Chain A
Amino acid sequence: MSQHHHEPKEEPSLKVNRRHFFSQLSVGIGSLALGSLLIPDLFKGETKDLATRPLGIPHFAPKAKRIIYLFQAGAPSQLETFDYKPTLRKRMGQDLPESIRKGQRLTGMTANQDKFPLMPPKVGFQQHGESGTWISDFFPHTAKIADDITVVRSMHTEAINHDPAITFFQTGSQISGRPSMGSWMSYGLGSENKNLPSFVVLTSRGKGNSQGLYSKLWSSGFLDSKHQGVLLRSGKDPVLYLNDPEGLSRSDKRHLLDHVSSLNKLHHVETGDDEIESRIAQYEMAYRMQMSVPDVMDISKEPESIIKLYGEDCQVPGTYAANALQARRLAENGVRFIQLYHQGWDQHGNLHDEMAGQAMDVDKASAALVLDLKQRGMLEDTLVIWGGEFGRGNYCQGKFDPNNYGRDHHPRAFSIWMAGGGIKPGLNYGQTDEFGYNVIENPVHINDFHATLMHAMGLDHEQLIYKYQGRRFRLTDVAGHVVKDLLA
């Protein structure tokens, strides 16, 4: 285990640019003349960097050691999942009052509508557990774990379209290019198991209306590429190009790697490019992953009771249930951040039927995952999150039709749930108004959400900083507050 430190590595002379030159020059002249008398440290060998925090270790004792993020891509409606609003039934068909909408900008799909007829959910709602959490009838299995999860009904974001919204959730910025949350965790906390990547991505797709997923969502941005999310595919080749071609033995492979590595090291000495080092490390990890990945992906040893718990479809590679079970296995094997995406939650029309199908895909397996983690004592140090990138409007998209309605995007309020790893169980946090449109109590912004996750993982979101192109970056950039009320 090597200890990295935050101060920038000594850069070779070729890498000195104009900015470097001037900053060095001014410091040089000034300090030689005066500094030696005023700043006695100047002649000391060591220099103290600004926020020096050792990397690869939590800043303080963490509650959670890993995260499983069950991302519901496309944005499931809060009004058909966890935010029960009887007022919508009473006012069904009436226009959304301007006093509630308050000029909220709309997408091109509904911006030209002259009426915004309020639409209640067609699905029933009931309270569950001792916590009395409202959960829609789409989620009978999630209802069984009502006291293990904490529902946050006061999430809000700025983005109104899928791509910026999901990019914001994953990277802390609506504009792509920043490192993904999982990459930040990998950067800040390091890897628990050197034979697997610390950030793994699994995707699945429901029958509902889908939006694209791009690998930029799990990119490491300007961080070292070893922190990038690794997409595990279903089927016989979970990681592309990981398997050796036929006829190549493992010892031949070893020789090959040793030679490539010595050449790469030479090149590194010449250019000082850190990416070369991380490439060497990745070759080595890939070599070990040839053994560890098939082992982790092999669910044949899972007992019948576990298969039944997650649902028979967990034996079908590429389903959400299979990914959920896989997520547990990866978590057991020390993967820091396991990102699932289930596509198909973008219900602009035919909402009731499509959501029923989507919920069917994820409800049982999500709840089973929480139960399974709980019995293994992993809910003590694994944080599970379920939710989409924004909410959905409380009015019909297009004409009012109670039998076949859809909902447009809505950034001002939506619901997610979290379980385990340092989050209080059975809490109902935050509140929206009676229309389910605006947050009226305990709002949680995406930045706050990130700050809170990082806190649970033992990281101070204001201290995990990376300097790139002359500017300092954080996952929460210049915002974000830890939501202490959510922490156990």
Chain B
Amino acid sequence: MAYTLKNGKVDYVVFGLSVFLIFCLLFESYIELPVLVAWIGRWHPLVLHFPIVLLLIAIFLGLTGRKIPRNLLTIAVISALLTAISGFFLGKETGSKGDLLFWHQWLGSGLALLAALWYGLEGLQLGGKIYTKMIQVVIIGLIVLTGHYGGMVTHGQDFLALPKDKKQEIIPKNPLIYTHIVDRILENKCVKCHNSNKKKGELLMTDLAGLLKGGEGGSTLVPGNPEESEMIRRLYLPIEDEEHMPPEGERPLADNEIQILEQWIALGASDTLRLNHLESSQPLAVLIKEMMEPDPMEKWTSLPKVADSTLGNLASDYLTITRLAGATDALKVNVYMPPQYDTQILMDLIPINRNIVELDLSGLPIGEKELAFAANCPNLEWLEIDRTPITDVQVDTLRNLSKLRLLKVYETRIGDQSISLFKEWKNLKSLYLWGTQVSESALEELKSENPDVLIENGIDEEIKSYFVASDSIPKS
């Protein structure tokens, strides 16, 4: 079979584009795009529609034994290569490539290169061979997959998923254990397959009656007896087990969810049981309270980003800045008494004031300026200003710190005036104020108005006198 150069220049274009694409992929990390080239990437979402349609038409013609117009194939292949290259440019603009983009890039590039190979084979008059047909079939597959990943990149991963109405509403303060907790777990993890439309194993999990009735596997739920309940047995099976629920590939229940179901069944699987019917030390009550408590990391996600290098620059031998946890921008700042104290040490932290969630200034000779700084940290939850010379006037500047959860002001000169302020903070949980000038009556008033606040006014006098009276030096 003689090789005939039918279409010289175009062949070189296809070959050149292919080589360029391979080069891009291999040396991705070394490539820095000029702005104008990067801009070409923006055309990717427009261009990509051409190769999809043109390649599909060409393959349709090829597989049905008709003649593929040479120009159609040429345009299809060149547009495929251009799409892949522009896509590559576009991809360079996003900092880190997630899994979706990763697959989209490699499937798309593979598709373009395979199309180029097909073009070459056609040029060599090998279009009728079985392997060329195979390549065409593979191209169809790649078009579908690449398109799918690309779609997920732009429209989100769940775009094609069937609509679900997950129960995400906030759990009320005193929830009905079945309606607000158990049903919510089942709804999220089980009902997909055990509903009135798709009653797998003849089991309906949308209401208590369905659970009590059970399915093919026998008694799904035996009130008061989790060991006998098929549901619990299956939840505890190893994940590889055929009978494990939910089946492989579905999201399994978390440990605490399984425990909640188990405890609820053990207590009789009632649908009228409420959280306040349980003793607070009851395992079920503890589990549910845990579930209701928002994850602290969640509320910190909206804090501004702060770089490690910034923290490194701001910290000194006497000022420690740490992240409260690995993946957050919530910061804890501890200041220790330096040989020469200078107010400036805090003022340098103004750029990160929104990130400071915990601040410890205890034992320092602080005054107006430091408290004004603290007042300027709107996300403060934890503030230690104990054993300092502060007074009511300065504490009053903290008025807007409504997120404050803990305040240590013991051994300071504050008095009753500050109490009115403490009453306003709705998130306040613990207050340490012994050794101050706060009067007994003001304290009583605060206690009656905020009964949930733990107020520490020093060690109980009775215990104190017991400790003082009994000496620990053994009489020998």
Contacts and interface: CB of A to CB of B under 8 A. Distances in A.
Interface of A: 1-3, 36, 40, 43-45, 53-54, 56-62, 140-141, 144, 190-195, 288, 291-292, 305, 308-309, 311-313, 321, 332-334, 357, 360-361, 363-365, 367-368, 371-372, 374-377, 380, 427, 458, 485
B325 A333 contact: no
B32 to A, nearest CB: 12
A361 B476 CA distance: 13
A193 B408 contact: no
A372 B30 CA distance: 60
A255 B308 CA distance: 31
Contact of B297 (A40, A61, A194): A61
B320 interface: yes
B408 A291 contact: no
A458 B318 CA distance: 24
B102 interface: yes
B434 interface: yes
Nearest to B314: A1
- Interface residue SS majority, chain B: mixed
Given A192-B322, A311-B472, A332-B363, 20 more contacts: A1-B315, A1-B320, A40-B106, A56-B322, A57-B322, A61-B328, A62-B325, A141-B472, A308-B468, A309-B459, A309-B464, A311-B473, A312-B473, A313-B472, A360-B474, A364-B467, A377-B432, A458-B325, A485-B283, A485-B286
B408 A309 contact: no
A194 B434 contact: no
Given A45-B29, A61-B297, A360-B472, A375 B410 contact: yes
Contacts of B326: 53-54, 57-60
A423 B315 CA distance: 31
A277 B328 CA distance: 29
B211 interface: no
A313 B473 contact: yes
A343 to B, nearest CB: 16
A376 B386 contact: yes
B323 A377 contact: no
B463 interface: yes
Given A43-B27, A485-B283, A312 B470 contact: no
Contacts of B225: none
Contacts of A40: 25, 28, 102, 105-106
B468 A309 contact: yes
B321 A43 contact: no
B317 interface: yes
A56 B322 CA distance: 8
Max chain B Cβ within 10 angstroms of own Cβ: one of A140, A194, A372: A194
Contacts of A1: 311-312, 315, 320-322
Interface residues of B, number: 54
A41 to B, nearest CB: 8
B218 interface: no
B25 A61 contact: no
Given A40-B25, A376-B386, A377-B456, A194 B320 contact: yes
B432 A376 contact: yes
Contacts of B322: 1, 56-57, 190, 192
26 contacts: A1-B312, A40-B25, A40-B105, A43-B29, A44-B29, A45-B29, A58-B326, A61-B325, A61-B328, A62-B325, A140-B470, A141-B470, A192-B334, A305-B464, A311-B467, A312-B471, A312-B473, A334-B336, A371-B467, A375-B432, A375-B458, A376-B408, A376-B432, A377-B406, A377-B456, A485-B283
A376 to B, nearest CB: 7
B12 interface: no
A416 to B, nearest CB: 20
Q: Pick the 7 closest A-B CB pairs, nearest first.
A: A311-B472, A364-B472, A1-B315, A44-B29, A377-B432, A3-B308, A308-B468
Contacts of A54: 326
B336 A311 contact: no
Contacts of B275: none
B238 interface: no
Interface in B434-467: 434, 456, 458-459, 463-464, 466-467
Interface string B7-27: 000000000000000000111
B371 interface: no
Contact of B318 (A57, A190, A195): A195
Contacts of A312: 471-473
Contact of A60 (B102, B325, B363): B325
B172 interface: no
B142 to A, nearest CB: 15
Contact of B334 (A61, A291, A292, A334): A334
Max chain A Cβ within 10 angstroms of own Cβ: one of B26, B322, B432: B322
B324 interface: yes
Contacts of B102: 40
A141 B386 CA distance: 27
A37 to B, nearest CB: 8
B281 to A, nearest CB: 8
B296 interface: yes
B472 A321 contact: yes
B69 interface: no
B430 A377 contact: yes
A458 B296 CA distance: 12
Max chain B Cβ within 10 angstroms of own Cβ: one of A291, A305, A376: A376
A370 B322 CA distance: 26
A60 B311 CA distance: 19
A380 B283 CA distance: 22
B338 to A, nearest CB: 9
Given A45-B29, A371-B459, A57 B325 contact: yes
Interface string B286-327: 100000000011000000000010011001011011111110
Contacts of A195: 317-318, 336
B339 interface: yes
A473 B286 CA distance: 33
Contacts of A288: 317
Contacts of B297: 60-61
Contacts of B471: 311-312
Nearest to B457: A375
Contacts of A368: 467
A305 B461 CA distance: 11
A288 B322 CA distance: 20
A309 B410 contact: no
Contacts of B325: 57-62, 458
